Amino acid sequence: GAGVSQTPSNKVTEKGKYVELRCDPISGHTALYWYRQSLGQGPEFLIYFQGTGAADDSGLPNDRFFAVRPEGSVSTLKIQRTERGDSAVYLCASSLGWGGSSTDTQYFGPGTRLTVL
């Protein structure tokens, strides 16, 4: 079956611009996660959704970052007034559940590489 998909695969923008990154989770998965990965490092948690609501947004670095999941499926990560330090690979993952069982395994998409010039 189809895995997690993310668009665009690459995004180049200028400092100060607004960007949107999209994630399509695995069909039927109720939980969706965003992570950010800098070169040579492991992914760092940003935010996760249970259904339509953000259950934990403690990883968002500042108020320039915002994410939505209005219908409980597709999610969009929005970054305002981009800065060069925002350059990274943004990864999305989804899981079937989140209740503390084996169904919580997170499956990742290929990521969006964001470059802020």
Partner 1 sequence: GESVGLHLPTLSVQEGDNSIINCAYSNSASDYFIWYKQESGKGPQFIIDIRSNMDKRQGQRVTVLLNKTVKHLSLQIAATQPGDSAVYFCAENRRAAGNKLTFGGGTRVLVKP
Residues at the site binding partner 1, with contacts judged by CB under 8 A: 4, 31, 33, 35, 39-45, 48, 55-56, 58-59, 91, 93, 95, 98-102, 104-111
Q: How many helices (H) and strands (E) does the chain have?
A: 0, 11
SS3 86: helix
- Per the DSSP assignment, residues forming a β-bridge with 91 are 35
Minimum CB distance to partner 1, residue 73 (Å):
18
Select 40 or 70, whichever has its Cβ closest to partner 1: 40
Minimum CB distance to partner 1, residue 26 (Å):
12
Quick check: 25 and 75 in contact, CB under 8 A?
Answer: yes
Minimum CB distance to partner 1, residue 74 (Å):
17
Dist. CA 85–CA 46, nearest whole Å: 15
Quick check: 83 and 23 in contact, CB under 8 A?
Answer: no
Select 2 or 39, whichever has its Cβ closest to partner 1: 39
Select 14 or 39, whichever has its Cβ closest to partner 1: 39
Select 14 or 102, whichever has its Cβ closest to partner 1: 102
